[in-house]
Amino acid sequence: MRQSGYGSRPWRTGSEGDSGVLIDGFKEEAVDWKSSDFRFVIKDNKLHAFVMRPPENRVVVIKILLPDEKVKSVRLFGGTELGFAQNFGVLTVQLPEKLPTTYTNCLEITFV
């Protein structure tokens, strides 16, 4: 499988959410990201979930994990360990009130 210069590689799916990106050659339209939009890569058995727009209630819901993909921990890049719950493959994560960046934030999800 192809790896980037940073050692990450595509996960079994690259994204989750309702927003789409229209790319025409070298032109890309601005996207009004929703709190359900995520982008994924994996590195060293850690899933990196890019939160395209944090939800106002600060509870992230990632729906595409399989029931046998058990999460051990969730950490916010530039931050600390986060509280989470996992039921039937759905992962909910409590974000802190203040995020490390006003841009896209990233969750590092470690599996058991």
Q: For the chain, what are the domain ranges?
A: 9-20+32-111
5-9, 13-17, 88-92: which is most confident: 88-92
Look at domain 9-20+32-111 and name its CATH class.
Answer: mainly beta
Q: What tokens appear for 67 in the block?
A: 């029931």
Alpha-carbon separation of residue 92 from 13, 83, 88, 100 (angstroms):
18, 9, 11, 19
Per-residue pLDDT band at 23 (split at 50, 70, 90) = low
Answering whether pTM is above 0.85, one says: no
